[in-house]
Amino acid sequence: MTEAEGNEELKIISTIPLTDREKELARSRAQKFLGVIGRVEYEIDPNILGGLIFKTRDKILNLSIAEKLNQIKNLLDE
């Protein structure tokens, strides 16, 4: 891992504030799937309805309920 990757900022978006344990679990999952271990910023967005969104400078992993509902809508519209 390069120094730049280790310093990459990660934003974790949830509908409600996460507990310390939830924050650690979310960060751990981000490290596993996105390879991110830099600074983490937490954001609250009730519009995602539930789940989490992980964002880095060049990657987004959207595991929100709003995204899943949008995917279902798109399937029904086909």
49: left (phi > 0), else alpha (psi -120 to 50), else beta? Answer: left
Domain around 12: 3-77
For the chain, what percent of residues have pLDDT higher than 90? 71
Predicted confidence at residue 38, as pLDDT, reads 87
| Tens-digit pLDDT profile for residues 39-72 | 999 999 999 999 999 999 888 999 999 999 999 9
Number of structural domains the chain divides into: 1
- Taking the model in full, what pTM does it have? 0.83
| Mean pLDDT across the chain | 89
Reply yes or no on whether the pLDDT at 10 is more than 90.
Answer: yes
**Token pair of 15 as six digits:** 């509908």
Q: Between these two residues, 38 and 36, which has the higher pLDDT value?
A: 38
